[in-house]
Amino acid sequence: MVSLGSWLFRRDFDEDDHTTKSAVDIRYGVGNRIRSVVRFDGTTVSNFFDSAGRISAVTLPGGNAAQGQVITNNFGYYANGALASAMNYAGAVSNVFDAVDRLAWSTGAAPQSAVSYSYYPAGQVSNVVSVAGTNIWALDAADRVSEIVAQGRTGSAVRFEFAYNPTNGMTSTISNLARGLVVSYG
């Protein structure tokens, strides 16, 4: 690994059972990207980059760090630079994008870990569906969020309504009347 620069951070602590003379050494590479960090405990986190300058892997202490065991997180990208996947020993997360490069679907390592996204024509999220349930966003005539309804897989829906200041268009009230919640902004 070629290091083009380094920055050392040190600080001393008091004598009340705090660590003394700790240091973090941050090493930079091409493009002023952080290549590695030697942490206070002496372990190292290393970043690796692909030819486009995107982070392709991160190694960090894991398992028995004293024996040099590390965890490696790997990242893959689509040609347009969007994150296609992230993976390590625990599994992988994969992303699928629609024709206009918006996140449409994401799946993880856990069973039923898929999340899907839908959008309004102007690009705002209209709903998100996951194992926890469905969140639906409604918009007013000015394309501002007017309502969010969270419908869990079990139980009733929770509804939040938004009102806006007619002078500056900023949020003036968020309410959930069924639960007696009203938050107003000045």
Q: Report pLDDT for 66.
A: 61
Using CA atoms, how far apart are residues 23 and 154, in angstroms rounded to an integer?
50
Length of the chain measured in residues:
186
Q: Report pLDDT for 1.
A: 41
Q: What tokens were used for 15?
A: 């004598």
Q: Report pLDDT for 165.
A: 93
Burial 146-174 (b: 16+ CB within 10 A, else e): bebbbbeeeeeebbbbbbbeeeeeeebeb
Q: Report pLDDT for 2.
A: 43
Query: C-alpha distances in angstroms, 114 versus 34, 105, 128?
Result: 32, 7, 10
Provide the CB-side half-sphere exposure for 26 (13 A, CA): 8
Q: Which amino acid is at 7?
A: W
Ranges of the chain whose pLDDT falls below 70: 1-23, 63-66, 68, 111, 186
Q: What tokens were used for 132?
A: 């926890």
Contact assessment for residue 23 and residue 12, using Cβ atoms and an 8 Å cutoff: no
